[in-house]
Amino acid sequence: MLVSKTPLVTRARVLELLDYNEDTGEMRWKVDVRHGQIKAGAIAGCYDGWGYRQIKIDGRLYQSHRLAWLIATGDWPAGEIDHRDEAKDNNRLANLRPAGLDQNRHNVSLTSKNTSGFKGVGWRKQRGKWQAQIQVRRKKKHLGYFDTVEAARAAYRRAAVEHFGEFANFGHGCHVVSPPLVPDINDTVHQLEAAD
């Protein structure tokens, strides 16, 4: 969110201006805005350069997922708001959850630099093996070298569930769907592998 000296908009003010549909995630204007150029009933906001929908209220830009949280809960989020499915414009209430900065960073898919097709796994030519590693609190943690990509993938998945719980993301839209406290990490990893 952009830094501004103007105070944050209140929930009451947002409710004067916007209708939020918790089931679809859409926000629509209740009133005409921009001197009548945008009519009441129009979908509010536009996309920023990162793919998030943003809405300008009283001269200040807000990310629509943060406004959705304010409307639904009555409070501004204390930290980040994570999109469970990674879709930055899916602002359905069921898709939003509070997250710390590190948790939010872990709910991301494969990067364009990934060559193995699996998050946290890469080929190490010098060793002739697959390496699994994970980043925890901005520090890389080596998980081992493996003869097969599947073994390295399983090691990453176990570590991701252990460290990130419900925020673990295995790439390709595959997430942990169980509660944050996972009783048996190995069972969870086996279930996820069977689902692929």
Contact 61, 1 (CB under 8 A): yes
| DSSP count for the chain of H helices, then E strands | 5, 10
Give pLDDT, residue 157.
85
Give pLDDT, residue 192.
47
Fill in the DSSP letter of residue 116.
Answer: S
The Cβ of residue 2 has, within 10 Å, a number of other Cβ atoms equal to 9
Give pLDDT, residue 178.
36
Give pLDDT, residue 174.
46
pLDDT digits (tens, 9 = 90+) for 137-175: 778 899 999 999 999 989 988 887 888 777 776 665 444
The Cβ of residue 191 has, within 10 Å, a number of other Cβ atoms equal to 13
State the Cα–Cα distance between residues 12 and 71, nearest whole angstrom: 9
Beta bridge partners of 98: 81
Give pLDDT, residue 116.
78
State the Cα–Cα distance between residues 165 and 161, nearest whole angstrom: 5
Residue recorded with tokens 């948790």: 103
**68: which residues sit within 8 A by CB, 6+ positions away?**
20, 22, 25, 27, 91, 93, 96
Give pLDDT, residue 106.
58
Domains of the chain as residue ranges with CATH: 11-99 (3.90.75.20), 108-195 (3.30.730.10)
pTM of the model: 0.60
Give pLDDT, residue 74.
95
- Compute mean pLDDT per 10 residues along the chain, 196 residues long, and list them: 71 97 96 93 93 93 96 92 86 89 59 74 91 85 92 87 74 44 42 49
